[in-house]
Amino acid sequence: MPSKRPVSAFDIIGPIMVGPSSSHTAGAVRLGLMGRAILGAQPQDVLIELHGSFAQTGRGHGTDRALVAGLLGMSANDDRIRHSLEVAAEQGMIVRFETVDLGEDVHPNSVRLSLQTGDRNVQITGDSVGGGMVEITDIDGYAITLTGEHETILVVANDRPGTINAVTGLLLERRVNVAFSRVERKRRGGEAIMVFETDDAIPAELLDALEDFYWVRWVRHIPKVTG
């Protein structure tokens, strides 16, 4: 399914990168970087499920190495991308690749990442939509849209009255301007995921303050990866 994000000059020019394809290489690196940030650590155990064009031509374009490079914290212009599988093995990261059919409604350049380290685990679905631009579309079953074009805070918390006001109040106190925000939940009274994309840097003490709320399960800072 084509992205609804408007096309910019950056999409046409493309990013500074290592590799033959902005979609299959730079976009894949950025999906890996965002997956690493959402997990909140470098994963130890990784299942990468490739869909559509990623599955059919991805390895020839270095998509497998690019995704792992992002999970290792490498940027899209890092010369080590071509050796990322070897670097992962040296660092004890177990990586498995599989082909998956995610359905006709997803972008052809899509991947599902199942990441684990210690007692942390997360499953993420994302697309590389062109020109190195990306979208995370699902986190642990929550349907979201996360592009990496802004600094972002993810908050998973109990679905209860006042939680959004509490979070935005902390952002206001620290003069962090919100560009976009979304809330998704699976059911009333269960857990919800809050997404705050900001125009400003995210201070570390803001994350600490959010984690102090007893109704918060986890908080992650997703650094900007595009632009």
pLDDT band at 23 (very low <50, low <70, confident <90, very high): low
The answer to whether 156 and 218 have CB atoms below 8 angstroms apart is yes
| pLDDT attached to residue 35 | 96
Whether 181 shows a pLDDT value over 50: the answer reads: yes
pLDDT tens for each residue of 27-60: 999 999 999 999 999 999 999 999 988 888 767 7
Whether 7 shows a pLDDT value over 80: the answer reads: no
Residue type, 27: G
State how far the Cα of 107 lies from the Cα of 127, in Å rounded to an integer.
Answer: 6
Q: Which residues contact 212 (CB under 8 A, 6 or more apart)?
A: none
Whether 2 shows a pLDDT value over 80: the answer reads: no
Q: Which of 19-28, 76-85, 191-200 has the lowest mean pLDDT?
A: 19-28
Whether 218 shows a pLDDT value over 90: the answer reads: yes
What domains appear along the chain, each with residue ranges and CATH number?
14-140 (3.30.1330.90), 151-222 (3.30.70.260)
Nearest-10 Cα torsion for 73, 79, 83, 86:
-50
Whether 88 shows a pLDDT value over 60: the answer reads: yes
E-strand ranges in the chain read 45-51, 94-99, 109-117, 120-130, 133-139, 142-146, 151-158, 178-185, 191-198, 216-222
pLDDT band at 127 (very low <50, low <70, confident <90, very high): very high
What pTM does this model have? 0.85
The answer to whether 125 and 106 have CB atoms below 8 angstroms apart is yes
| pLDDT attached to residue 11 | 42
pLDDT band at 207 (very low <50, low <70, confident <90, very high): very high
Q: What is the mean pLDDT of residues 183-188?
A: 87
State how far the Cα of 172 lies from the Cα of 33, in Å rounded to an integer.
Answer: 28
